[in-house]
Chains A and B, each alone.
Chain A
Amino acid sequence: MSAIADNPGCGFGSDELLPARAGESGPSEAASRHLAGCPACARTLAQRQQLAAELRALPRLAAPRGPASALQIAAILDRLDESRLEARLASEAGTIRRWLAALARLRAPETLVAPLPALQPARRLVVVRGAALAAAAALVAAASILPWLGARSARSGAPGAHGLAAQTAALSDRTPIQLRAIERVDSLAAGPRPIELALPPAAPARRGGP
């Protein structure tokens, strides 16, 4: 207890003399017993009680009532609305920032580098360049092999390997103009094709028709 002894030779703390709790009417039972035999403390208590009564009797400051006062519920609610709006805007701004950050992470170099966080930057660059070279080589190889594969398929007689011109010639007896047109497109798209092989059978079939 931090009681401060007010009266020399007494040792009883003056802060023990007043009731500890608001609403209590007097000092504790122990303090009352002490007061019965200590006139000095009784006098101190009387002074404190008078002081407390005077402090309690001071008029309370009343909040200003005028419409210009800042202490109006309308002004407070307005500020609450503003703060709610600010919080909402901040939340939306946060969402947009997260989207932008996600978009920024989608940039190609970072996407390539992301799986390699443990490597040194120089190493990462080597790996990325190596991957790019490998991808380019794969593209070149594919471009070289695909025509060869097409020719091989044509020789084996697999459906579709002759191209559109050959199939059309086999199924139709229409005019050669149409065939030539198709052959031209076909030749541009897939390189040299056995055009002569497709055209001669078409003419006799027309002559012998109805």
Chain B
Amino acid sequence: MPKDPDFELIRRCQTEIGPARDAAFAELFENYKDRVFNLAGRLLGNPADAEDVSQEAFVTVFRKIQEFRFSSRFYTWLYRVVFNLCVDQRRRGFAGPLGDAPTTEGEAMLAGLTDPDPGPIERVVEGDSRQRTVERALRRLSDPLRAVVVLRYMEDLAYEEIAEVLGISLGTVKSRLSRAHHFLQEMFGSSAT
């Protein structure tokens, strides 16, 4: 396996003490906070929950960083922690289902993402932007399918890395991705082509 791009930083987190270690933690946090929040936000659909889960993920990872042995990439470990925390959050029922009835906060989060001034090419049927349609379609995916799509297309992970993050087989990753494609194209209809 190629050397982890975060190797030196993680080594500092493991070997330094006091302010030097805190500085290494801060650097690692700055490198990954947006990616972690994006993953949690996409999986939970609620910014407040995503914020809490993100903080919990960093605390968990930093607390256990001495146990990290570079048997995998740091970011796959971090994503796995985030994913597991999201699953726990959903299981506790705090986040509520995404599906067809998104929360007000989730809608507000998506509204904030939408291009405020879409061009004519971006406009699709029903007066909605194409981007917003894709966002909604993504939110209507089941949790397992959405997780695969987000990790594949938004976080740019390889199939093997997705399998590692989600704790599933490579074949399951591919079949979920294929089902997600089918579902999304059905939702888009001819406008997706």
Most buried by B among A58, A59, A77: A58
Tell me if B145 counts as interface (CB < 8 A to partner A). Answer: no
Interfacial residues, chain B to chain A (CB-CB below 8 A): 22, 25-26, 29-30, 33-38, 41-42, 47, 50-52, 54-55, 58-59, 62-63, 109, 113, 130-131, 134-135, 138, 149, 152-154, 156-159, 161, 171-172, 174-175, 177-179, 181-182, 184-185, 188, 192-193
**Measured CA separation A73–B54 after assembly (Å):** 11
Name the A residues within 8 Å of B36 (CB-CB).
63
Name the A residues within 8 Å of B62 (CB-CB).
76, 80
| Contact present for A77 and B185 (CB under 8 Å) | no
| Contact present for B54 and A71 (CB under 8 Å) | yes
**Measured CA separation A64–B41 after assembly (Å):** 11
Tell me if A83 counts as interface (CB < 8 A to partner B). Answer: yes
**Measured CA separation A76–B156 after assembly (Å):** 27
Additional A-B contacts beyond A60-B34, A62-B38 (17; CB < 8 A)? A2-B172, A2-B175, A15-B175, A15-B178, A22-B152, A47-B185, A47-B193, A55-B149, A55-B153, A58-B113, A61-B34, A61-B41, A61-B50, A70-B54, A71-B37, A76-B29, A76-B55
**Measured CA separation A69–B34 after assembly (Å):** 13
Name the B residues within 8 Å of A21 (CB-CB).
158-159
Tell me if A13 counts as interface (CB < 8 A to partner B). Answer: yes
Task: Please name 28 pairs of A and B residues whose Cβ atoms are closer than 8 Å in the assembled complex, sorted by A.
Answer: A15-B177, A15-B178, A20-B158, A22-B156, A22-B157, A46-B193, A47-B185, A51-B192, A52-B153, A55-B134, A55-B154, A56-B154, A58-B131, A59-B113, A61-B37, A61-B109, A62-B34, A62-B37, A63-B54, A70-B51, A70-B55, A71-B54, A73-B26, A76-B55, A79-B59, A80-B62, A80-B63, A83-B63
| Contact present for B178 and A4 (CB under 8 Å) | yes
Tell me if A54 counts as interface (CB < 8 A to partner B). Answer: yes
Name the A residues within 8 Å of B35 (CB-CB).
60
Name the B residues within 8 Å of A55 (CB-CB).
134, 138, 149, 153-154
Query: How many interface residues does A have (CB within 8 Å)?
Result: 39
- A15-59, CB < 8 A from B: 15, 20-23, 46-48, 50-52, 54-59
Chain A residue nearest to B133 (CB atoms) is A54
| Contact present for B51 and A69 (CB under 8 Å) | yes
| Contact present for A71 and B193 (CB under 8 Å) | no
Tell me if A119 counts as interface (CB < 8 A to partner B). Answer: no
Name the A residues within 8 Å of B42 (CB-CB).
61
- Point out the residue from B26, B50, B59, B131 that lies within 8 Å of A57, measured CB to CB: B131
- From known contacts A4-B175, A22-B156, infer whether A61 and B113 are also in contact, taking CB-CB under 8 Å: yes
Contact flags A102-121 to B (C-beta < 8 A → 1, else 0): 00000000000000000000
| Contact present for A14 and B193 (CB under 8 Å) | no
Chain B residue nearest to A77 (CB atoms) is B22
Name the A residues within 8 Å of B138 (CB-CB).
55, 58
Tell me if A139 counts as interface (CB < 8 A to partner B). Answer: no
| Contact present for A58 and B134 (CB under 8 Å) | yes
Tell me if A1 counts as interface (CB < 8 A to partner B). Answer: yes
Name the A residues within 8 Å of B149 (CB-CB).
55
Chain B residue nearest to A18 (CB atoms) is B177
Name the A residues within 8 Å of B152 (CB-CB).
22
Chain B residue nearest to A69 (CB atoms) is B51
Tell me if A3 counts as interface (CB < 8 A to partner B). Answer: yes
**Measured CA separation A51–B192 after assembly (Å):** 7
Most buried by A among B33, B41, B152, B181: B181
| Contact present for B25 and A76 (CB under 8 Å) | yes
Tell me if A75 counts as interface (CB < 8 A to partner B). Answer: yes
**Measured CA separation A6–B179 after assembly (Å):** 10
| Contact present for B178 and A13 (CB under 8 Å) | yes
**Measured CA separation A14–B179 after assembly (Å):** 10
